Amino acid sequence: MKKFTIALVEAGTPSTHMFSRTYLPRTGLPTIGAVLKNLGYECGIWFETMSPLDVDMLRGYDIVGIGSLTNTISHAYRLADSLKKTGGPIVVMGGPHVTFMPEEALEHCDYVVMGEGEETLPELIAAIENTQALEEIPGIAYRLETGEIRIAQPGRSVDFASLPSPDFTLSPQITSGRIPPIITSSRGCPHDCSFCSVTSVFGRKYRFKGNEQVVDELRSIKDRSVCFGDDNFFANTKRTKSLLKDMISKDAVPLRWSAEMAVKAAFDEELLGLMRETRCRIVYVGIESVDPETLKRYGKVHEMELTARCVENLHRYGIGIHGMFVVDAENTPETVRNIVDYAIETDIDSIQICSLTPFPGTRSYEEYQDRLLHRQWEYFEGMHVVVRPEKCSAYDMQMAIITQMQRFYSISRVISAYRKGRSWRIKYLAGGNYLMRKWVKENADYLERLKNGYYPSARSKPVFAGA
Ligand code: B12
Ligand code: SF4
């Protein structure tokens, strides 16, 4: 019997966010693609951030799998609707949003894969091909013939170390061998921050690939700046050190690299030395707040005194720090100002101040149900205030975030970095300045609505080629 053909699509982001200039795909679809290829399926992958999608071309596939985050979900649903409009292929959706909102997703698609997709999608395809029973597959949701929705038990944690590496070459958009410089060397995070959906999708058990596989992946993108897209690259410092040592001994050191790091990892001198030797450029550190009470609410474990020393330690080894902060409903504009005072004082290189965004699947989502201003998912990307604050208006909080971010990314700070000859910091500051200006311009209508106390309408519909 001829096997089904499968297209996998990572839905794009229609609006500006703090990482809009970081054109990196996620590694989920290329990993699922590699599994499907090994099973003998014809599979193509498209990343919408790279170029517009051709819906007519996608209609030529038997199954289209769409991956999406919360802020890209409305866009992904429109794509699913366009595909289904004239019959179209079978549409399967996956990713951290639909994992927790399967009923909502089934308004637009035929099947939902919840959690990790590498085992579940091939089983679902086998069931659609009639070689396996649908009811036996964990981690899927679908409509029965009666119209009733069946949500199977949660999906499993895959054996990460035995998975193939992501196969970006399955995407016709990746030309001349320029594989996107993102590597996921581990999954899961032992922490459990209230606002993060990572542990509910990937679990708290830290699973990692063997060094050899990571070194091979690094070799395929050598001489470029690599981003380790792990949730917490340093969760097991013994394994991180062993990987960095192998990168050195096996000649797989990239031009530069970056990764997410917890504050306490910056107190290990041997680790910092290895990071310098392997050319770590910057680490993304979840500092979250400068207020101890807020840190407690988030379930964060580090102390503020440690954070200032963490910055010093990193700088001593020539490593930059991107500080990630979150303000919640109990914070005030004063809290936001304190964050930027602290960031400037401690000499953090770049920052993002997110308004706490309750993503489905997180404890914050349960907690803030009644305080949500709206459920326009495209605004759930951290820059927009979507939770009504307790001690000030949503507009005042939104303006505090914008004003303080603009203070951090001001032209005078760019000039000062230039005068001090801090060349790569200029790039971060100037980039942040540009993004903030773009964001404010793009959101003029949103800000006006927020000021007047009524909430945003959906963004204008995207146009898909062939739709
Ligand atoms: C690298 C990364 C980035 C990169 C690249 C992201 C990109 N192209 O979207 C950058 C730095 C640009 C970035 C930016 C942002 N990110 Co980010 N990012 C990550 C990170 C750390 C790794 C992504 C990754 O490669 N994951 C590994 C792969 C294996 O996971 P996956 O792609 O989700 O796929 C698996 C399953 O979800 C499922 N699956 C997914 N899609 C599909 C589709 C089908 C058909 C099937 C069957 C299965 C399936 O199977 C896959 C394999 O097991 C994740 C955390 C995480 N662990 O995922 C956060 C994460 C995705 N980011 C997040 C957020 C909020 C953002 C931002 C909005 C901004 C911000 N404030 O940080 C922006 C917006 C990005 C955008 N696209 O609009 C959240 C999303 C939460 C949510 N519910 O939406 C996450 C989950 C982190 C968190 N704190 O919870 N990010
Ligand atoms: S925010 Fe970072 S440290 Fe906290 S649970 Fe998520 S990945 Fe882990």
Question: What are 221-236's pLDDT values in tens digits?
Answer: 978 999 999 999 999 9
pTM for the full predicted model: 0.95
**Confidence grade of residue 445 (pLDDT, cut at 50, 70, 90):** confident
- Residue 446: per-residue pLDDT: 87
Angle at 95 between CA 91 and CA 99, to 5 degrees: 90
Looking at the DSSP bridge assignments, the partners of residue 280 are 257
75 lines ligand 1 (CB under 6 A): no
263-296: pLDDT as tens digits: 999 999 999 999 999 999 999 999 988 888 888 8
Asked if residue 142 lies in contact with residue 123, where contact means CB atoms within 8 angstroms, the answer is no
Best residue for ligand 2 mutational test, from 184, 186, 191 (most atoms within 8 Å of Cβ): 191
> Cα(203)–Cα(156) distance, rounded to whole angstroms?
10
Q: Is the model's pLDDT at 299 over the cut of 80? A: no
The share of the chain scoring above pLDDT 70, in percent, equals 96
Question: Among candidates 139, 165, 170, 163, which has minimal Cα distance to 152?
Answer: 139
Task: Give the model confidence (pLDDT) of 406-418 as tens digits.
Answer: 999 999 999 998 8
Whole-number Cα distances in Å, 168 to 29, 220, 443: 9, 11, 34
- pLDDT at residue 403 above 70? yes
Which ligand number lies closest to the CA of residue 302? 2
pLDDT tens readout for residues 140-198: 999 999 999 999 988 789 999 999 999 999 999 998 778 999 999 999 998 888 889 99
Atom of ligand 1 nearest to the CA of 69: 84
H-only helix segments in 158-303 = 198-202, 211-220, 237-249, 269-277, 292-298
**Is residue 456 scored above 70 in pLDDT?**
no
Ligand 1 binding pocket includes 141 (Cβ within 6 Å)? no
Residue 389 CB partners (closer than 8 Å, separation 6+): 329, 330, 331, 332, 396, 397
- The best mutation among 196, 295, 359 to test binding of ligand 2, ranked by most ligand atoms within 8 Å of the C-beta, falls on 196
Distance from Cα 231 to the centre of ligand 2, integer Å: 7
**pLDDT in the model for residue 314:** 97
Indicate whether 424 pLDDT > 60.
yes
Helix (H) / strand (E) element for 465: namely: none
- C-alpha torsion sign, points 195, 199, 204, 207: negative
Which amino acid, one-letter code, is at 183?
I
Six token digits for residue 316: 């001593």
Average pLDDT, the chain: 92
- Angle between the N-to-C axes of helices 411-419 and 423-442, in degrees from 0 to 180, rounded to the nearest 10: 170
Task: DSSP letter for 373, please.
Answer: S
For residue 455, what pLDDT is reported? 62
What local confidence, expressed as pLDDT, does residue 395 receive?
95
Structure tokens at 394: 């949503």
Q: Give the residue whose CA is nearest to atom 28 of ligand 1.
A: 28
3 state SS of 282:
strand
The residue with greater pLDDT, 99 or 419, is 99
Please give the number of the atom of ligand 1 that sits closest to the Cα of 198.
90
Determine the 3-state secondary structure of 48 from DSSP.
coil
Residue 319 above 80 pLDDT?
yes
Asked if 297 and 320 count as a contact pair (C-beta separation under 8 A), the reply is no
pLDDT tier for residue 301 given thresholds of 50, 70 and 90? low
Total Cβ atoms within 10 A of residue 3 = 14
Of 131-135, 322-326, 327-331, 381-385, where does mean pLDDT reach its minimum?
131-135
Chain centroid to CA 341: 27
- E strand or H helix that includes residue 312: helix 304-316
Please state which of the ranges 35-44, 123-132, 157-166, 420-429 shows the lowest mean pLDDT: 420-429
For range 20-31, the mean pLDDT: 90
Interval 234-272: pLDDT, tens: 999 999 999 999 999 999 999 999 999 999 999 999 999
Q: Taking each helix axis as running N to C, give the angle between helix 269-277 and helix 304-316, from 0 to 180 degrees, rounded to the nearest 10.
A: 40
pLDDT value of residue 302: 62
Q: Whose CA is nearest to atom 31 of ligand 1?
A: 28
DSSP state of 301: -
At 222 the pLDDT is 78
Residues 46 and 23: their CA atoms lie apart, in Å, by 14
What domains appear along the chain, each with residue ranges and CATH number? Answer: 5-151 (3.40.50.280), 328-454 (no CATH)
